[in-house]
Amino acid sequence: MKPISLDNFEFTGHEAAKLGDLHALDAHDREQLLMSGVDVEEQGRSGSFLHMDHSGAYCKTNRPGVEILNIKDALKKYDGLPEYFWKLVDPEKDEATRKARDVLHGGYFIRAEKGAKIEEPVQSCLFIKANKAGQSVHNIVIVEEGAELHIITGCAVSHQTQESAHVGISEFYVKKGGKLTFTMIHNWGENVAVVPRSAGYVEEGGQFLNNYVLLRPVKYLQMYPTITLGGTGAVARFNSVVVAPKGSYLDMGNRVIMNAPDTRCEIIARTIASGGTIINRGHIKAGQVPAKGHLECKGLILGGGVIHAIPELEATVEGVELSHEAAVGKIARREIEYLMARGLDEDEATSTIVRGFLNVDIMGLPDKLKQVIDKTIAESQKDMF
């Protein structure tokens, strides 16, 4: 598939009005947000951020210790964020990064202050409402020394059929002993092209835990976030749950560069092609010991499609422990029969096994979000059998 051309989309003229309150959204958009993990009641959230089309629409912090700003305001406040802005992603990298360098619509700046344990997640949504709109955002997340933060970020379009493009730069900084859990839920539409460019840096004893959920169709998605474990004892973990229905083309993966001793990483992807194409990459590179990394891509093809798993391990020093496990399979007949012997019909048995395969439970998400995801999985199974 030929990468999309960003020139076909409008990167100017779609400034959205500021919202006083997330309730100001209409019922349809609220529903779209809910599917992306955003609770308009802001129950159990430390703060909220909403970016719509070409501008920030809502930004609110509910807890001390966490700072949430529109990136444009953060650049003003912190003199252009010289230590963080475009420090992990090269603006010259490709068409997407050049576009993001030339056009900045907004994005979030989220920072957990030193030692702050922010228990309830911060929620954010990057939303596209206008047809033909091209959206370009730049996000920066900083977890200061010893701080803990969970961000749930959804990306959504207002109408499943609209044509649009999203360019997003994200740079993550986890300082010494910090912990960032970053959960991203993509709810794009069948005519949307998405090219995020993300990178992160984890210092000594820091942890970066990433959950990614994509269950809805998206025309074209290409992303390959790269995390560098730069300090002793740093940890990175990726869990991805991905479904590609007919019309979806996904080229995605995770990369971890282990540049310090005692680092650990795990990249786990569960993918289902139900008519679409998934290129599932994974790359662990280790140049220090001890270093332990595991890469796992498991795929099912249900109702047609393509899965192309490309796991890569790269070790440049003696003593590293890296492993990978890639499998593309089918649902075992024995498992279906076992559940049928308990009274489940064939469809119930199959969908139970599929839900278990995707295993969203291990992400430890808030109940309400988990319920929404379960519901979306149930809906997406219509394409599978």
Partner 1 sequence: MLHIENLHVKIGEREVLKGIDLHINPGETFILFGPNGSGKTSLLMTLMGLGDYAVTKGRIIFKGTDITYAPTYERARLGVGMSFQRPPTIHGLPVRHLVRMCGREREVPVERLARRVNFDQFLERDVNAGFSGGEIKRSELLQLMAQQPSLVLFDEPESGVDLENMALIGREVRSLLQGEDTPRPDKSLEELKRARATSGLIITHTGYILDYINADRGQVLYNGHLCCEARPRDILEHIRKFGYQECVRCLDNALA
Q: Which residues bind partner 1 (CB under 8 A)?
A: 332, 334-335, 337-346, 349, 352-353, 355-359, 361
Closer residue to partner 1 in complex, CB, 108/357:
357
Question: Alpha-carbon distance 313 to 220, whole Å?
Answer: 26
Q: Minimum CB separation from partner 1 for residue 334, in Å?
A: 5
Q: Minimum CB separation from partner 1 for residue 271, in Å?
A: 14
Q: Minimum CB separation from partner 1 for residue 358, in Å?
A: 7
Q: Minimum CB separation from partner 1 for residue 267, in Å?
A: 18
Closer residue to partner 1 in complex, CB, 184/353:
353
Closer residue to partner 1 in complex, CB, 277/351:
351
219 and 248 Cβ atoms separated by less than 8 Å: yes
Q: Minimum CB separation from partner 1 for residue 313, in Å?
A: 24
Closer residue to partner 1 in complex, CB, 326/344:
344
Angle between the N-to-C axes of helices 346-358 and 367-380, in degrees from 0 to 180, rounded to the nearest 10: 130
Q: Minimum CB separation from partner 1 for residue 245, in Å?
A: 21
Phi, psi angle pair for 358, to nearest 5°: -70, -30
Q: Minimum CB separation from partner 1 for residue 270, in Å?
A: 9
Closer residue to partner 1 in complex, CB, 2/333:
333
Q: Minimum CB separation from partner 1 for residue 347, in Å?
A: 10
Question: Alpha-carbon distance 124 to 69, whole Å?
Answer: 11
Closer residue to partner 1 in complex, CB, 114/355:
355
Closer residue to partner 1 in complex, CB, 328/339:
339
Closer residue to partner 1 in complex, CB, 330/334:
334
CA distances from 267 to 5, 132, 359 (A): 30, 35, 14
Paired tokens of 8:
């076909």
Question: Alpha-carbon distance 76 to 63, whole Å?
Answer: 22
| Matching residue, tokens 């020394």 | 145
Nearest to 144 by CA among 110, 172, 178, 120: 178
Phi, psi angle pair for 367, to nearest 5°: -50, -45
215 and 376 Cβ atoms separated by less than 8 Å: yes
- How many other β-carbons are positioned within 10 Å of the β-carbon of residue 256? 31
Angle between the N-to-C axes of helices 27-35 and 367-380, in degrees from 0 to 180, rounded to the nearest 10: 90
112 and 212 Cβ atoms separated by less than 8 Å: no
Nearest to 299 by CA among 310, 290, 313: 310
Question: Alpha-carbon distance 333 to 336, whole Å?
Answer: 5
